[in-house]
Every structure is written in C-alpha cells, then in structure tokens.
Structure 1
Amino acid sequence: MSVFFSDEAIAKLIQEDVPYLDLTTYGLGIGKQLGKIEFSTRHPMTICATEEAARVLKYCGAEVDYQLESGTVCEEKQLILQASGTATALHSGWRVALNLMEYASGIASRTRILVDTASSVNQSISIVTTRKCFPGTRALSIKAVLAGGGFFHRLGLSETVLIFNQHLIFLGGIVGLVERMNELRRQFPEQSICVEVDSPTDAWVVAGAGVDLIQFDKIPLSEIKPLVLKLKQQYPNLKLAAAGGITSENVKDYASTGIDILVTSSPYFGKPCDIGVKMKIV
C-alpha cells in the first residue's frame, strides 16, 4: 500500500524528536555499540505505517532486517519490524517509529472493525472517512484507513462537489440549488454532484433534481431504511450515503438499511494500539 511520504517529511519527524543529538546515549558513551530493535504486537491489530517506521530507522542509520506490510492483520505477540545498527541509530529512531505504528495501527484497526461488521450484513457497502483527522496527519490517516479496508470520503475541498446546508444558506435553500442544477452540470461535466440533506423531504427534492449522490445527515435509522428502498426503486443509479455519529456500535444497523456508503470520523478517535519494543546487544 503506497501513500507518498517525502524524504523531507520523514526527516522532519525525526528532527522533531532529535533536534541535535540523543543526549542520553551520547552521555553514556554507548552510541557505537551494535544492537537490534524488535517491535511486536501486544494484542491483535491491523498494523500500519511499518514502511514509514522502517524509513525512519534507515534514515537514522539502522538496517531493517524484517518488516510486515501495512494492512496485515496480526495476532498477539507477532513480530512486525526488526532493525539492527548502532545504539545511536536505534535510540534515535525508536520512539518516532513506534509512535507512527501505534497511532496508525489504531486507526487501521478501528477501520477494519467497521468494514468487517458492515460487510457481514451488506457486502457491497463502502466505509469512507471524513477530513476530521488531526491537522497535519492526513497522509498517515489516509494510509491507515486504506490499511483497514476503508476508503476516504474526499481528500480536500478541491476534488469533489459536496453541497451542505451551509452552502444552501447562500443559495436560498434547496429551491435555489435546484434552480442552479443545470448550471452546475455544465460547469462540472466530469464531477459528481453530491448533496447532504437532513430530512426525507429534501432528499426527494434533490433526487428529482438529478443529483448523483445524496448524503443523509443524522436522519434517524427508522426513517433511513424505507427511504433508501423507495429512492432506489425510483432512481436506481442514485448513490446514497449516511453520515453523522456512525460508530462500531451502530454500523451494522446502518449497513442493514441497504445504503451504499457510510461516512464516518470514528476511526480517528480512540486509543493507539499497543506495540512492544525490545532491544538487545549483538
């Protein structure tokens, strides 16, 4: 799985933790001693960012001896990354590599739970994540979501036309949007036109206007299932998504409505995975 991280980005991660030198290793006079570092799972997880962690260790002067691929589903006490080198190299890369893998694996593991739970009742459903990741971490968050079997809702404002209530305020509401639909089609011939609605009434209005995707925002589950069935009967090519408060506790219920896409931020919020680290002299 490949998400681009420049050498400069990797270097900045290291420099944040080691701005000049590892003072402790230097002061103890152990920097030139040779050793190994091993990272292993402390519980089952879907791992992520092993590739970036390996690049961190290499940048610090270590050699990577063993590495599992991001997206691998691991059992407890499974070796995921091993490197060898001087104590200076190993200690310089240790914490940065660990943080990358623990945080990314947490997102990947939560995404995997959502995907597996939803697909158990609806094999054609897609789990996609929002832009609500912590600022500055989008590339890593995207990689983690992909590692967990999910996909991204959109990467930024420049790539999709997704109309919210906040846009409608400046258009005069749903009526104003409908009046602009033909103009939008001419302006964006290759892009899908997507609209978020918070009521069944508005869903029917924008469906009739010819949008490509409707995103339900916090519409009660009891209303979504009959709405999905009726909309798909009348507009078979229309894509339907649900957003707002979708978590591992209710994802199965949402998936069982027959909806096409579930939009969620929940994988970003939770505990990092717990990865153990051991060093030894060689």
Structure 2
Amino acid sequence: MHESIERLIQAALTEDIGSGDLTSQYFVPGDRRATGFIVARESGVLSGGEVALEVFRRVDPSIDATLLVEDGSRISEGAFLIKIEGPARSVLTAERTALNFLQRMSGVASATWQFVEAVKSTNTGILDTRKTIPGWRHLDKLAVTHGGGVNHRMGLYDRVMVKDNHLVAEGRLEELQEAITKLKDEHPDVEVELEADNLEQVEAFLGLEGVDHLLLDNMSLADMRQAVELRGDKAAPLLEASGGVNLDTVAGIAATGVDFISVGAITHSVKALDLALDFVKRE
C-alpha cells in the first residue's frame, strides 16, 4: 500500500475518533462481539476493499475482516462484500471511516466502468485526470484502474503537459523544439504531451521531434478524425481527446480513432456507491 494511502487512513481515523468513540464506550458493552457484512445497496464496481480492511486492522488488530469480493469486480445490489467479526465497540468505531473510503472509491470505479463500457467496441482507452480530491490522488487513480480505466500522469513531475497557458509565444516552434530536446536530454524517461486547439497546431506539432502525445482539446468530431488522418500510421504521438466528454458523447469521440479520451468527471464529480454495514445476530 502506497505510503500516501497509509497516511490518509491514519488521518481519517484521527479526524473521526479524536479522543475516543464516546458512543461505543458508553452504550456498547465491552465484552460484546459482533458479526456483520458490508453489503451493496446498488450495483456497480467494487474498489477500496483492501483499504477498508486496513482501516479495521488499525482500529483493532483483533477484528477479523475478510474481503469476499475482489477489487475491480462487478457487484450487484445485495451482494456481500466484506465479512467482519470482532469486538462490537471496535467494529462500530471503524465502520464509518471504512465505508467512506469504500463508497468513494467504488463510486469512482463504477463511473469509470460506465465510460469504459461505452467505448468497448473501439480501441480507445479512458483516462483519468489530475482533477482529484487533494490528498486522495493515489486512491482515486487506483479506483480508476479497478473500473477498467487508464491512469494519466500522477502529477507535474512524471509527464510534461504543455498547454495553451504555457505557450506564451504562439507559433515559435523553434523554441518549443529546443525545450523538448533539453527536457529529453535531462529527463529521458519523461513523456511529452502538447495541447492542440486546432488542426493547424496539430499539423505543426506533428513536425516536432520528441512529442509522445497530442491533446486534442475541445475539437469537433470532424477535426478529431482529420487529426487522426494527419498522424497516419505512425506509432507516435498518441492522440488524446478532451472536453465535452460525457456518456452521451464518449462513443462518438472514440469512433474518430483517437487513442485515449480523458474524463475529469470520473474523479471530480462522482457519486459515492451506496454501501452499508449490516449486523447479523450471533448465536
């Protein structure tokens, strides 16, 4: 588990528990044990199961939490996802934090899966973006992969993305090529992506060396098809479409032949999946 996820789990527990779970301390007998299941209240894709198990373990290592369905699995309403057995106080203390992680991540995975399903007849991949909850990026991007999506760059450090705001001197291709060449010399493993707003820029950027990706920003379907034709059968640059992407438009965008479609909504506007912890009677 990435260290940023471990820190986030600890921060979430500290935020919720504070100086102690007073409700459980005063209203739940200390010797009472509980058995329960985290259950799906709606269909979707499970993500965050391993994170939820870690939450229960950190609250009380004596809790026996078992993942019944693997992360990335399609789940139906009523499905039992995690079985939990242990001291009732501890289970109740961990419940909300575990569900918060599980519901959010499953919401991201489920939303991603919907977009992946919409383009499954094409060779186009669904990409995430950096539009994530601050501090949650590793979790959001992990959930995207569970939904069948592909991770874009993690941050500003692992891929160069030159957008219109960076191109303060439009049309100065010589300076742009010099910057790309210098970057590749000093950081040979870092990929370069350029944003193109029109076909003229696409054509110009295709003439540069060292460009790994072109971002086709808010282009019409006709222009995207033309950009694919301009690129031809060359392996690079890969073409990524963005802007105006939703479940009604994504199939049409994929049909233009672009390699990837980036969708900010799968992380910045996602609805949590409805999950709950149900206790069962113990004999």
Same fold (TM over 0.5): yes
Aligned to 2:197: 198
Aligned to 2:24: 25
Secondary structure at 2:70's aligned position in 1?
coil
Residues 173-227 of structure 1, C-alpha deviations (whole Å, 9 max, x = no match) = 2314245444444344333321011111011001112322111111122321122
Aligned partners of 1:51, 1:191: CA distance in 2, in Å? Answer: 31
Aligned partners of 2:124, 2:280: CA distance in 1, in Å? Answer: 46
8 A contact 2:51–2:101 mirrored in 1: yes
* Structure 1 range deviating more: 49-58 or 4-13: 4-13
Q: 1:244 to 1:93 in 2, by over 3 A?
A: same
Aligned to 2:76: 75
- Pairs aligned (count): 276
Aligned to 1:157: 156
8 A contact 2:103–2:275 mirrored in 1: yes
Aligned partners of 1:94, 1:245: CA distance in 2, in Å? Answer: 38
Query: Shift of residue 236 of structure 1?
Result: 4.7
Query: Shift of residue 230 of structure 1?
Result: 2.8
* TM-score of the pair, normalised by structure 1: 0.91
Matched, 1:216 2:216: yes
Q: 1:184 to 1:22 in 2, by over 3 A?
A: closer
8 A contact 2:24–2:93 mirrored in 1: no
* Structure 1 range deviating more: 64-73 or 14-23: 64-73
8 A contact 2:49–2:67 mirrored in 1: no
Aligned to 2:176: 177
Aligned partners of 2:188, 2:5: CA distance in 1, in Å? Answer: 33
Query: Shift of residue 51 of structure 1?
Result: 0.7
Please show how residues 111-190 of structure 1 align to structure 2 within 5 Å: 111-120=112-121, 122=122, 124-169=123-168, 172-175=169-172, 176-178=175-177, 180-190=179-189
Query: Shift of residue 112 of structure 1?
Result: 0.7
8 A contact 2:46–2:71 mirrored in 1: yes
8 A contact 2:47–2:109 mirrored in 1: yes
Q: 1:9 to 1:249 in 2, by over 3 A?
A: same
8 A contact 1:53–1:100 mirrored in 2: yes
Query: Shift of residue 31 of structure 1?
Result: 3.4
Aligned partners of 1:111, 1:28: CA distance in 2, in Å? Answer: 41
Matched, 1:228 2:225: no
Residues 207-252 of structure 1, C-alpha deviations (whole Å, 9 max, x = no match) = 112322111111122321122123225x453211111232222111
Q: 1:181 to 1:88 in 2, by over 3 A?
A: closer
Q: 1:23 to 1:252 in 2, by over 3 A?
A: same
Aligned partners of 1:56, 1:50: CA distance in 2, in Å? Answer: 10
Matched, 1:46 2:45: yes
Aligned partners of 1:230, 1:148: CA distance in 2, in Å? Answer: 32
Q: 1:228 to 1:7 in 2, by over 3 A?
A: closer
Secondary structure at 2:85's aligned position in 1?
strand
Q: 1:219 to 1:8 in 2, by over 3 A?
A: closer
Aligned to 2:55: 56
Q: Tell me, which stretches of 5 or more residues in structure 1 are unaligned?
A: none
Query: Shift of residue 281 of structure 1?
Result: 4.2
For 1:203, give the aligned amino acid: V
Secondary structure at 2:206's aligned position in 1?
helix
Aligned to 1:36: 35
Q: 1:253 to 1:31 in 2, by over 3 A?
A: farther
Aligned partners of 1:51, 1:8: CA distance in 2, in Å? Answer: 15
Q: 1:42 to 1:226 in 2, by over 3 A?
A: same
Give percent identity, aligned residues only.
25
Please show how residues 96-111 of structure 1 align to structure 2 within 5 Å: 96-111=97-112
Q: 1:27 to 1:47 in 2, by over 3 A?
A: same
Aligned to 1:250: 249
